[in-house]
Amino acid sequence: MNRVAINGIGVVAPGAIADVDRFDTGGLSAHKAALVRDFNPRQYIAPLKMRRMNALSRFAVSAAKMAIDDYGRELPRETGVAIGTAFGPVQTSVDYMREYVEKGAALAPPQLFAESVANAPGSHIAIEWGLRGFNITVTQRESSALAAAMYAASQVLKGSVRAAIIGGVEETTEMVFSVLDRIGALDDEQRNGMVIGEGSAMLIAEKSESAKYGFLSGFGIARDTTASISDWGSDPNAIVTAMRNAIDDAELHVADIDAVFVSANGVKRADDVEAKAIAQLFGERMPRLVAAKQVFGEYAAAGALQLVAALREAAGNILINSISAGGGIVCAVVTR
């Protein structure tokens, strides 16, 4: 059977959802996020190298180091890297623009510019471990990490690489937090909404008959054509299509699914559409539903952490949903 084994996992997980103390939320409606706390990247990255990395890269490289240590062998040179991030290093762009405004366009620091590209974390990982396969950074909002996993798994099966590092990384920044707050997307006392989170999870994928954690066994994609640029859409059929495609791709039947890690993030109208879709697909025989974003918060780190959480489940076939604002949907099936 065609499936991709996961043989290493590394995680930089956020702590509990709590009041944001990293930046000032005064004057904003929302105040909570799932932030990474008490994280010491020095445990994973040499000091000289760390100086060249922003927070996003530090999360990603640390998670990759843990995943590779967990894998326990040297990765082949022909290893690909596919990382998902919804917003990338927004804080680095903000820092660059601050210098640009203060010092002028000709005197802003080149190091910040180099680190402002979304693929900086993936690049650091390739350099650190000499990985010369494909190196792609997928940026499809909430679905980024699962879309990255889909691409990497296809390349492992195709044989264009011998292994791949798959993952997601996100940093909660003042800029993103305040803009989402302004448009009313975040959870506060008055309204339903999402809590955003940060961190990283990395997984080592390869083609092998045995797996330490489990297998990526199927993917399905679709798009809800009723979605606007800032909305998740209202058509459950698009979600049903993506879920069914993923289950078909895994050569399973709907009845074989034991649990669904839902995409639900606390935005009621989007959660309701997903609930309808799940009811439509599974009918009377409803599998266990797990809302992991209640722990991890929203965005690409959550996508990768959901994948890890599903792989750490004791048994069974698990469907993972990832639904994006803008209408993009990616579903994955992991099996033991």
Partner 1 sequence: MRAPDPTIRIAVTGAGIICAIGRNKEEVWRAITESRDGITKLTRFPGETFPTDIAAEVVADLTPLLPISRREAKRMSRSDLLAIIAANEAIAQASPPRERAIVATGTSTGGLLEGEEYYFTRIVRGRRRAPASRVLQQPTSAPSDAVARTFNLGGGVMSNATACASAGAAIGMAADTLRSRHADVAIAGGSDALCRLTYSGFNVLQAVDPSPCSPFAAERKGITLGEGAAYLVLERWDDAVARGAKILAELRGYGASCDAHHPTAPAEDGSGAEAAMRAAMGEGSGVAVDYVNAHGTGTLLNDSAETKAITAAVGTRIPVSSSKSYFGHTLGASGGVEAVITVLALREQLAPPTLRLDVAANDCTLDYIPHTPRPMPMTNALSNTFGFGGSNVSLLFGRVL
By CB under 8 A, the residues from 215 to 234 that bind partner 1 are 216-225, 227-230
Task: Of 134, 64, 53, give the one whose Cα is nearest residue 91.
Answer: 53
Among positions 12, 63, 68, 126, the unique one binding partner 1 when judged by CB under 8 A? 126
Q: Which of 169, 204, 239, 330 binds partner 1 (CB under 8 A)?
A: 330
Q: Given the structure tokens 């669904």, which residue do they identify?
A: 260
- Could you say which residues in the range 167-186 bind partner 1, by CB under 8 A? 175, 178-179, 182-183
Name which position in 106, 284, 285, 314 contacts partner 1 (CB under 8 A).
106
The DSSP bridge pattern shows strands 288-290 and 79-84 to be unpaired
> How do beta strands 4-12 and 199-206 pair?
antiparallel
- Backbone dihedral angles phi then psi of residue 235, each to the nearest 5 degrees: -105, 105
- Cα-based distances in Å from 167 to 12, 61, 177, 286, 328: 11, 11, 22, 29, 18
Please say which residue, 35 or 325, places its beta carbon nearer to partner 1. 325
Token duo for residue 84: 């998902």
Q: Which residues are paired to 127 by β-bridges?
A: none
State yes or no: residue 328 binds partner 1 (CB under 8 A).
yes
173 within 8 A of 129, measured Cβ to Cβ: no
Return the residues of window 80-99 that contact partner 1 according to CB under 8 A.
80-81, 86-88, 93-94, 96-97
The stretch near partner 1 (CB under 8 A) out of 36-44, 102-110, 256-264, 277-285 is 102-110
Can you tell me which of 133, 193, 214, 303 binds partner 1, judged by CB under 8 A? 133
The residue assigned the tokens 């490289």 is: 61
Binding of residue 124 to partner 1 (CB under 8 A): yes
Count CB-CB contacts under 10 A for residue 94.
Answer: 15
27 binding partner 1? (CB under 8 A):
yes
Task: Considering the complex, state which of residue 27 and residue 47 has its C-beta at the smaller distance from partner 1.
Answer: 27
> Looking at 136, 254, 289, 291, which residue binds partner 1 (CB under 8 A)?
136
Q: Is 47 in the site for partner 1 (CB under 8 A)?
A: no
**Which residues are within 8 A (CB) of 114 and not within 5 positions of it... i.e. 6 or more apart?**
120
Rule CB under 8 A: say whether 50 interacts with partner 1.
no
CB-based contacts of 99: which residues, under 8 Å, 6+ apart? 107, 108, 109, 112
User: β-pairing, 199-206 with 163-170?
Assistant: antiparallel
User: Based on CB atoms, which residue is closest to partner 1, 33 or 221?
Assistant: 221
Q: Which region among 187-195, 213-221, 261-269, 313-321 touches partner 1 (by CB under 8 A)?
A: 213-221
User: In terms of CB distance, is 29 or 276 closer to partner 1?
Assistant: 29
The residues in 52-81 that bind partner 1, with binding defined as CB under 8 A, are 52, 80-81
Of 6, 11, 60, 153, the one binding partner 1 (CB under 8 A) is 153
Subset of 255-314 contacting partner 1 (CB under 8 A): none
Q: How far apart are CA 285 and CA 50, in angstroms?
A: 50
By CB under 8 A, the count of residues binding partner 1 is 89
Choosing from 91, 116, 172, 321, the residue that interacts with partner 1 (CB under 8 A) is 116
DSSP 16: S
User: Is residue 101 a contact residue for partner 1 (CB under 8 A)?
Assistant: yes
Shortest separation between residue 50's beta carbon and partner 1, angstroms = 14
Half-sphere exposure (Cβ direction) of 119: Cα atoms closer than 13 Å: 11
Can you give the three-state secondary structure of 46-57, one letter per residue?
Answer: CHHHHCCCCHHH
Comparison of 13 and 147: residue with beta carbon closer to partner 1 = 147
Pairing of strands 288-290, 328-335: unpaired
Question: Which residue among 18, 157, 254, 291 contacts partner 1 (CB under 8 A)?
Answer: 157
